[in-house]
Structure 1
Amino acid sequence: MMTKLSVNINKIATLRNARGGDYPNVVQVAKDVQAFGAHGVTIHPRPDERHIRYQDAYDLKSVVTTEYNIEGNPIKKFVDMVLAIKPTQVTLVPDSVDAITSNAGWDTIKHKDFLAEVISEFKRNNIRTSIFVDPILNQIDGAKKTGADRIELYTEEFAKQYTLGNIKAITSYAACAKKANELGIGVNAGHDLSLDNIKFFKQNVPHLAEVSIGHALIAEAIYKGLKPTVEEYLKLLK
């Protein structure tokens, strides 16, 4: 099964915002990565709009012709935006307001009722829902009870351990992916996946529908170029 690649363009917005203008232009980059073969575009707007801005989310609506994935903590402003845009997928992430980047998955058991309420609203609007989770089996069971269509496995710990040579760190991810599939939940993954580790992750985690990659891909593109980098990921994800 070909695993889809969704390119997170947050870092393009970070670079743009550093100079206060509109270069590089996030809309153009979204067009480009799709032209280069990416199966989707991901953004993760945060309340302080320090990279992707809420206006960017609206501007990208007519531009993303593949799959549009919007990530974020479902505060009211975020929920209202998602319902107005109606992307292909919304990925719920339990970010604190001051988080530099995503650093934990949901406790799907503790927050079941809250998640179920939010997810039901998105699903009524025909928006596929995914929950950002740590690779813990009971959290997959909890995700099923919320009504989520998919999970996104939080892969930072895998990436860290893989760099250290501990390939057994993949075990919990593979087990959770298998469990999700048994429960009828789709499997996504993201955070610190890179050209160095994506092939191993893909080969060892079954039923992997989609990966969302931003920071590493944009950093690698500084050296390789954006088009060759996207193409290399697509080759490794086959």
Structure 2
Amino acid sequence: MTRLSVNVNKVAVLRNSRGGREPDVLAAARACLAAGAHGITVHPRPDRRHIVAEDLPPLAAATAGYGVELNIEGNPFAPPRPGYPGLLALCGQVRPAQVTLVPDSDGQLTSDHGFALEGDLQALADQVAGFRALGCRVSLFVDAGNPRVERVAEVGAQRIEIYTGPYAVAHAAGDARAALAACADTARRAQAAGLGVNAGHDLSQANLGQFLAAVPGIEEVSIGHALVGEALYAGLDATVRAYLGILGRTG
């Protein structure tokens, strides 16, 4: 069955908007894990606008206590600065099971494109090697339909994460056939190259089932924005269990 990793960034956004510790990111993560989530995802950005470095050790301890994975997302090329020692240094502190590398710029609102995988990829391969030396499984964020997805294996990463934002937009517009075909083709090509396949961005209860039915072999979905928004009405426990129900029906 596809695993659910809950991204708790949006809980941190709400906390940081007011200052202090509420809502408590660790408590939210524990609530998701108690409901059966298979992991927790975070994306500590250099501008510290949501998850911050200090959040990572307790989240790592919580996921370890439940025997599930912590997934840390980030741009490996973003330089260190006060309050942000760099992605590799952060991962060195907590040794997450998985690190998902994204090509985000510093001021980017959200991850909205994958690596192009063009030209000389030695610098990216060097970054991947650094994370693998920490014992992390490395996943690269890629666009559906990227014609060079096989190059992810060349740089030493073990998985891709398909950027599903365009699929979510197409689903909301009423015709997701082309977007699903692109996602499915990308998944198959990655798997043929020996890569595992994750997916994430704007997946929700409304569109997750159709995505999983059409795209083969998804190992993990990372869901945060929609899940936290839905939980405002139904609560984290009920919302996580609803997602697990969808995964169970399509797994």
Pairwise TM-score range, normalised by the shorter structure: over 0.9
- For 2:55, the equivalent position in structure 1 comes to 56
Stretch moving more, 108-117 or 185-194: 108-117
Give ranges in structure 2 of 5+ residues lacking alignment.
80-85
CA contact (8 A) 2:159 2:196 kept: yes
- For 1:106, the equivalent position in structure 2 comes to 115
Letter of the structure 2 residue corresponding to residue 7 of structure 1: V
Letter of the structure 1 residue corresponding to residue 157 of structure 2: A
Q: Percent identity?
A: 45
Aligned positions, number: 237
CA contact (8 A) 1:133 1:139 kept: no
Q: Classify the secondary structure of the residue corresponding to 1:153.
A: strand
- For 1:163, the equivalent position in structure 2 comes to 172
CA distance in 1, matches of 2:244, 2:95: 26
- Whether 2:197 is the aligned partner of 1:187: answer yes
Of 91, 94, 104, which residue of structure 2 is paired with 1:95?
Answer: 104
Q: Encode CA deviations 1:21-67: one digit per residue, 9 max, x unaligned.
A: 10111111111111100000000010010111111122312111211
Q: CA deviation at 1:138?
A: 2.3
Letter of the structure 2 residue corresponding to residue 236 of structure 1: I
CA distance in 2, matches of 1:114, 1:209: 27
Stretch moving more, 5-14 or 67-76: 67-76
Q: CA deviation at 1:136?
A: 2.2
- For 1:68, the equivalent position in structure 2 comes to 70
- For 1:6, the equivalent position in structure 2 comes to 5
Q: Encode CA deviations 1:172-217: one digit per residue, 9 max, x unaligned.
A: 0001111111111000000000000000001110010000000000
Q: CA deviation at 1:137?
A: 4.2
Stretch moving more, 138-147 or 168-177: 138-147
Q: Encode CA deviations 1:4-24: one digit per residue, 9 max, x unaligned.
A: 000000000011111111011
Q: Encode CA deviations 1:63-100: one digit per residue, 9 max, x unaligned.
A: 11211000000135111111221100000011100001
Q: Encode CA deviations 1:101-142: one digit per residue, 9 max, x unaligned.
A: 111101123362122111111112211000000012423112
Q: Classify the secondary structure of the residue corresponding to 1:139.
A: coil
- Whether 2:24 is the aligned partner of 1:15: answer no
- For 2:232, the equivalent position in structure 1 comes to 222
CA distance in 2, matches of 1:219, 1:124: 36
CA contact (8 A) 1:137 1:175 kept: no
CA distance in 2, matches of 1:139, 1:98: 27
Give ranges in structure 1 of 5+ residues lacking alignment.
none
For residues 191-202 of structure 1, what are the structure 2 equivalents within 5 Å? 191-202=201-212
Deviating runs (4+, > 4 A) in structure 1?
Answer: none
Give the TM-score taking structure 2 as reference length. Answer: 0.92
- Whether 2:131 is the aligned partner of 1:132: answer no
Q: Classify the secondary structure of the residue corresponding to 1:47.
A: coil
> Does the C-alpha gap of structure 1 residues 111 and 47 become closer, same or farther in structure 2, counting only changes over 3 Å?
farther
Give the TM-score taking structure 1 as reference length. Answer: 0.96
Letter of the structure 2 residue corresponding to residue 211 of structure 1: V
- Whether 2:30 is the aligned partner of 1:28: answer no
Of 213, 219, 223, which residue of structure 2 is paired with 1:209?
Answer: 219
